Amino acid sequence: MLKFMKISGSGNDFVLFNNLAGKIKNRKDLAITVCRYKYGIGADGAIFLEKSKKADYRMRIFNPDGSEAEMCGNGLRCLVRFIYEQKISRKKSFLIETRAGIYKTKLEYPDVSISMFLLKEPEFNVEIDINGEVVNTHLLNTGVPHAVILVEDIEKIDVKKYGTMIRYHKAFQPAGTNVDWLQVIDRHHGKVRTYERGVEDETLACGTGIVASVLCGAMLEKFLSPVEIIARSGEKLSVSFSSDLSEIFFKGRTKVIFEGNWINC
């Protein structure tokens, strides 16, 4: 029997486990099982809080298909809320290790903010062919890879259809990419929809995707800091940044959905 807590980061939901003792070994299989709707708990991912030799804690996150993600912005925010709710620490700020690097986090209950960074130099205007249609993408890695596409009306996008084709496009192999559609409303407001690899569908919010989209817009001179983004969930998340992008902060709401015991039978 394993204790768990389900927490949502602006509609991006996760099942979280305390694995500081290192007793959970089958993370991949457990993630596949618990993330499954109707037969499991149902979630966009499973997160394990673990010990770190480099930071206060380590986050390991597994997608519903069992693949391990390098990083997840909303997942990291939910993990900070989990630490607080489980009374693991009463500190308000932590350094958390991920496969993408170490992130500074801060609890501003019920909001959580993260200091973000770009892992690679962005690539702009990368044209790919999708069934004879040329799609102009901008590639940014905010912990995981994202292909950002600017559109006039985000509501007209068939995210599942085109997300699948772009995510698996030969230009992004072998790892594939997350796909984000960005609608710029004005210099400080926008909307984002995301197709997430590993989930293999649209999610209600994607932290790294929102940050990638905002930074893309900023570098294309369409955004000025701070920027408020409306996610598919309807919730608003904020991204602020310095002019040289040496400082990037991502902030949003977290909500505890429920907690319980996972009975393996």
1-38 pLDDT, tens digit each: 899 999 999 999 999 999 999 999 999 999 999 999 99
72 flagged as catalytic: yes
Helix (H) or strand (E) holding 95: strand 93-98
78 flagged as catalytic: no
pLDDT tens by residue, 89-142: 999 999 999 999 999 999 999 999 999 999 999 999 999 999 999 999 999 999
Superfamily of domain 2-113+254-260: Diaminopimelate Epimerase; Chain A, domain 1 (3.10.310.10)
Q: Identify the CATH assignment for 123-251 out of 3.30.420.240, 3.10.310.10, 3.40.30.10, 3.40.50.800.
A: 3.10.310.10
pLDDT tens by residue, 145-164: 999 999 999 999 999 999 99
**Segment 55-78 mean pLDDT:** 97
Fold matches, 2-113+254-260 and 123-251: yes
| Terminal Cα distance for the chain, rounded | 9
Give the 3-state secondary structure of residue 171. helix
Annotated active-site residue in 35, 72, 78, 216: 72
**Annotated domain spans of the chain:** 2-113+254-260, 123-251
Helix (H) or strand (E) holding 222: none
Annotated active-site residue in 35, 78, 206, 216: 206
Determine phi and psi for 213, rounding to 5 degrees: -65, -45
**Segment 166-174 mean pLDDT:** 94
